[in-house]
Amino acid sequence: MKRTILILLAIWTLLPATLWAQKNVPTWGVGFHVGVGGMLPAGSLSDDLKGCALFAGGFDVEYKRMKLNLGVSYGQPSLKDQNPNGAYDSQGRDLQLNASTNPTLLGFTGLLGYTVWQRGRVSVSPMVGVTQSRLSWDINHIKYEKDEEGIERPMIEDVTGKHSNCFGWTVDVDVDIKLHGKLVGSPSQENRQSRYTSSLRISPFVNFLNRSSKGCSVGITFCYAGMLHGLL
């Protein structure tokens, strides 16, 4: 009997705190992230492409522990072969050069994930989704002309823009380290409050490209993430 009374008293004591906690659990959130990182090609892709720094950003949507991430990244990797098409004249001289001068890589990703671990200021969320990337570069078409001294020298005759599109799968792990948070007025309802939190997001990733590329890329990004959470 005494044990039953103690249990009931404990429940009665903890009930208000439990209800308050449930009332303040964030159920949805919208936000953004922006930062920098780096990418390295792996597998056979590393035979053709060099690594590069990345600028990354995007939008985030959360519902309880579910996460949706739409992101974009930009970098300038270099092609290792300046004459990737193997264009040579009868004397074996390059007819195409400088393909590695100013390549650009633009990537788009859509990721869906779930927060599997959250303690204190740190949360961990594995993510999986699709990626679409576009690599663009210029090729200088070369011709050889004799100068005033009769020596043949390479001259740029024309410049052609080239590009390659790659579609594939991507996985990453978002590690969010909370920096600070504060209550703000809800933009939709005056009587309700939302909570804005900022975090440092560390995201190692792997992109598995389509078969024509025969490779993958690995990298990591460091982003500032801002989220506006709605409270019940």
Mean pLDDT by 10 residues, the chain (232 residues): 40 38 62 97 82 96 94 89 60 58 88 94 96 84 73 73 86 96 68 84 91 77 93 54
Q: Are 171 and 110 in contact (CB under 8 A)?
A: no
Question: Tens digits of per-residue pLDDT, 9-39?
Answer: 343 333 343 333 334 445 789 999 999 999 9
| Residue-number span of the structural domain to which 33 is assigned | 2-231
Token digits of residue 127: 């993510």
**Number of domains forming the structure of the chain:** 1
In this structure, what CATH number is given to the domain that contains residue 114?
A: 2.40.160.20
So what's the pLDDT on residue 181? 86
Q: Which two tokens stand for residue 98?
A: 């400088």
What per-residue string of b and e applies to 182-208 under the rule 16 or more CB within 10 Å gives b? Answer: eeeeeeeeeeeebbebbbebbbebebe
Which residues does residue 222 pair with via DSSP β-bridges, in sequence order?
36, 202
**Per-residue pLDDT tens for 55-65?**
999 999 999 89
Cβ neighbors of 216 (< 8 A, separation 6 or more) are 41, 42, 43, 45, 168, 206, 207, 208, 209
